[in-house]
Structure 1
Amino acid sequence: MAKRGYVYILVNPAFTGFVKIGKTINDPEDRARQLSVGSGVPAPYAVAWDALVNDCDYVERLIHQQLTEFRSRKDREFFATPLKTAIAVASTIAAPFSCEAEDVSVLTLAAPEQDEVIGRPKRIRREGPEELIEVAEDCRVDRAEAPPDGNSKTIARLGYEILMEHPYKYTEREFYYELHAVRRNRPDLKFESYNIKRAPVVKVHGWGIHRDMNGKLALVAIESPRYKELQATIKTTKAYRTNKAP
């Protein structure tokens, strides 16, 4: 029998060049967290794409067949293909089986307790265009580095920890709220005036910031193949310079 559920694509900064394509009858975010707790997983998974379909077993099988030449092993769900390619293939295959059109009201009106119902989507789709915030032109490092840590954490360190621990969880405004209101206890600040291009991690410490199709943010090391791939395939914007241009 056809089984309603999600097909998803996960990414992990520890497994550069690979995507994980699978299925679940629960929320993909829960599945990502479940997979991230294993001792053999050095960094957490993040949901890069998902779709609610009326037969997740069948749709997953079709996607795997289409991408079979990129599969790392027959008994594994990892594929050595660019994320953009995987999303394009998966979204095309999933479209005829989509259940999301019938659940539009759920996306915006569902009460919290309804989120636990199997198959109900939790997230409103696409908030803005996909984008890479490139490292500032006057950044002095050519490899990404962690901002210095200490007893009193700097804004740079706090921002780095938030995005490293929770890739593709926060939008720009949500990120600044978590950074300043929650972790710095400064709810008085006007978050609408902030701009991610001013973040120290992207101006000083060699990290690009990828904004995905849902507006969620993740760090990408300047020296990584992923950074170069994003530069070549999506919209790019330079971070603000630390010093004024001569």
Structure 2
Amino acid sequence: MKIHTTNYVNTFIEIAEDCPVSRSEVPPQKKEKTLASLQYEIISKHPYQYSSDDVIFECHAVKSGISENEKEKEREQFFSKGQPCLRSSPLAKRYGFGIHHNTEGKVALYAVESDQYQKLSNDSSITKTKAMRSKRK
């Protein structure tokens, strides 16, 4: 079985061209956790601790109610099909966060207004890619 991955290495996902905010916003808390709030919680509390695959699968597991002892089998099944990467994350499309993948493929968030965001955007040793647009041109 082929395993697909959403991981990038030494890459910075910049906010989408049509991102509606000029300052980052923490996704609002709702009774049912949204994908944005789950991703924000995992990445902001554990910078550079998890890969994109870890974050995407953990959000899927929470939303789908997958138990701890089912996770290993489910993860293999989940990544047997291609999954949307963090370029499609609402954090980068809607909430104004850049997502940095370090040389080990672990991720952290940077607010668009932060000095660190600017530094990563201007670092020629890092691959840059934009988050996906919310609307077609």
Provide TM-score, normalisation by structure 1: 0.45
Residues 1:146 and 1:128: Cα distance change in structure 2 (over 3 Å): closer
2-structure distance, mates of 1:216, 1:140: 27
Deviation beyond 4 Å, 4+ runs, structure 1? 186-189
Aligned equivalent of 1:140, options 20, 40, 46 = 20
Give the Cα–Cα distance (whole angstroms) in 2 for the partners of residues 240 and 160 of structure 1: 18
2:93 counterpart residue number: 203
> Which aligned pairs between 1:10-25 and structure 2 lie closer than 5 A?
none
Q: Does 1:176 align with 2:66?
A: no
Q: Secondary structure at the match of 1:160?
A: helix
In 2, Cα distance between equivalents of 1:128 and 1:137: 20
Q: For 2:120 and 2:42, locate their aligned partners in 1 and report how far apart those are by CA, in whole Å.
A: 21
What is the RMSD of the two structures over their aligned residues, measured on CA atoms? 1.8
Please give the alpha-carbon distance, in whole angstroms, between the structure 1 residues aligned to 2:44 and 2:17. 23
Distance (Å, rounded) in 2 between the aligned partners of 1:139 and 1:128: 22
Between 1 and 2, higher relative CO (CA 8 Å, sep ≥ 6) is seen in 2
Tell me which residue corresponds to 2:119: 229
SS at match of 2:12: strand
> Shift of the alpha carbon at 1:228?
0.5
Identify unmatched segments of 5+ residues in structure 1. Answer: 1-126
Q: 1:162 aligns with which of 42, 48, 52?
A: 42
Cα displacement string for residues 183-236 of structure 1 (whole angstroms, at most 9, x for unaligned residues): 222548734422110011111000000000000001000000000100111221
State the partner residue of 1:241: 133
SS in 1 for 2:27: coil
1:61-106 deviation line (CA, Å, top 9, x unaligned): xxxxxxxxxxxxxxxxxxxxxxxxxxxxxxxxxxxxxxxxxxxxxx
- 8 Å CA contact 2:52, 2:107 repeated in 1: yes
Equivalent position of 1:190 in the other structure: 78
Distance 1:221 1:128 in 2: 19
Residues 128, 154 of structure 1: CA spacing in aligned structure 2 closer, same or farther, 3 A cutoff? closer
Contact 2:8 2:52 in 1 (8 A): no
Structure 2: which amino acid aligns with 1:147? Answer: P
Q: Assess if the C-alpha contact under 8 Å between 2:22 and 2:113 holds in 1.
A: yes
How far did 1:129 drift? 3.4
- In structure 2, the CA distance between the partners of 1:129 and 1:155, relative to structure 1 (3 Å rule), is closer
Aligned length: 118
SS across alignment from 1:193: coil
Residue number in structure 2 paired with 1:212: 102
SS of the equivalent of 2:39 reads helix
Structure 2: how far apart are the matches of 1:158 and 1:173?
Answer: 14
- 1:177–1:214 Cα change, 3 Å: same
Q: What TM-score does the superposition give when structure 2 sets the normalisation length?
A: 0.79
Letter of the aligned partner of 1:169 in structure 2?
A: Q
